[in-house]
Amino acid sequence: MAATPPAHLSPRKKPRQARAAMTLDAIFEATIQVLLAEGLHRLTTTRVAERAGVSVGTMYQYFPNKQSLLYALNERYLDIVAEKVEKTCRGKHGATTAEMVQALVDAYWQAKTERRDVTRALYRSAVELDNEALIEAFAQRVDAATIAMLASASDGSYVDLHLVNTTLLAVIFGTVRNVFERNLTASMEADIRSQLTTMCLSYLKAASADRAAR
């Protein structure tokens, strides 16, 4: 994720060896577990270190405080989601709009639901973060990927592709987050996922027709 965090949220160091990367993985997983088991307000670097099986000194080598830890965790998660969206979009260049939308909705939905506990924990943690740079970096990556994909559609074009793309992603991202925040049933989720695809396709069809009318 090409984002420069605020100085007070920057990690002290980054892992350069496999063992250090494994330590960082354990710290991130422990952070999620503490968030889920004890809540955001009881999360401390000491509790995370204990659950991860590392010393407080080791923890401090990477993260000077709770906020920097949460920032790094969110950064890793958004990077994974962005990579999945980018891969999906590259694979659908030249396809029909329907194929693109279905693939995009599926990729984002699956990325968010693959580990529901992680998604819920990170939604909760975001309230404590100065994460504007993270969100902007994520948005830029996803925007670039989806714009390039839509521009290659075999059956549609748009007067203002940037606006259309921004609206489309706002609908997809907002719907998925709402599903999580409301804790809907699996059946309701499946229905909304289907309706989301229909809604996106209807919007893109109207936007493309608007260009043709002009």
pLDDT at site 81: 94
CA distance 158 to 204: 9
CA distance 154 to 166: 20
Question: Going from the N-terminus, what domains does the chain have, and what CATH number goes with each?
Answer: 7-213 (1.10.357.10)
pLDDT at site 157: 87
pLDDT at site 143: 97
Q: What is the 3-state secondary structure (H, E, C) of the chain?
A: CCCCCCHHHCCCCCCCCHHHHHHHHHHHHHHHHHHHHHCHHHCCHHHHHHHHCCCHHHHHHHCCCHHHHHHHHHHHHHHHHHHHHHHHHHHCCCCCHHHHHHHHHHHHHHHHHCCHHHHHHHHHHHHHCCCHHHHHHHHHHHHHHHHHHHHCCCCCCCCCHHHHHHHHHHHHHHHHHHHHHHCCCHHHHHHHHHHHHHHHHHHHHHHHHHHHHC
Nearest to 78 by CA among 48, 110, 111, 102: 111
pTM surpassing 0.75? yes
Q: What is the residue whose two structure tokens read 């968010």?
A: 112
Nearest to 117 by CA among 83, 56, 73, 62: 73
pLDDT at site 163: 96
Contacts of 17 (CB under 8 A, 6+ apart): none
For 176, counting Cβ atoms within 10 Å of its Cβ (0-12 exposed, 13-18 middle, 19+ buried), the class is buried
Mean pLDDT by 10 residues, the chain (214 residues): 56 61 91 89 93 93 89 91 97 97 96 85 77 90 97 91 97 92 89 96 88 55
User: 132-148 burial by CB neighbour count: b if 16+ within 10 A, else e?
Assistant: ebbeebbeebbeebbbe
